Amino acid sequence: MKRKLMTALILVLAVLFAVPAFAELPKAPVKIGVVLPTSGAIAYDGNLALNGIKMAVDEINSAGGIHGNEIQLFVEDSAGIPATAVAAMEKLVGMEEVVAVIGDFGSSCTLAMMDVAQRARVPLITPVSLAPK
């Protein structure tokens, strides 16, 4: 479990510091979406990952955010169901206008979300997926 949390934290940090466009943004929140199974069969793992992501964001925000911009998380529950994960992804890139999405656990949800991410040109970072695609 610690390895999964550390991986999630590293990925969050990588996305946040790898996008130089943030330096030119006005002082507005940096919107990051999170799609994880916070209910259902693998909710325990999803909630562990979410807690790790929140810890990383709290640490970054308490240090001044990204170039002075606070990170704002938008969290959606996929329940480990691909159709629910896709709906969550569409909401995040549409209504919430996030600049990146972290999620989901498992290949079935991640593969389903990839098309939405590609169409929206939003990075999708997954903590755990094992499909060779």
Task: Compute the distance between CA of residue 16 and CA of residue 103 in angstroms, rounded to an integer.
Answer: 15
Nearest to 78 by CA among 64, 69, 89, 67: 89
Higher pLDDT, 132 or 82: 82
The domain ranges of the chain are 2-9+29-125
Range list of H helices, the chain: 2-18, 43-62, 82-94, 107-120
3 state DSSP class of 59: helix
Which of 10-19, 27-36, 70-79 is the least confident region? 10-19
Cβ contact 21:67 at 8 Å: no
Tens digits of residue pLDDT in 59-71:
999 999 999 999 9
pTM, entire model: 0.79
**Per-residue pLDDT tens over the stretch 71-111:** 999 999 999 999 999 999 999 999 888 999 998 988 899 99
Give the 3-state secondary structure of residue 10.
helix
CATH T-level fold of 2-9+29-125: Rossmann fold (3.40.50)
* Band of pLDDT at residue 35, cut at 50, 70 and 90: very high
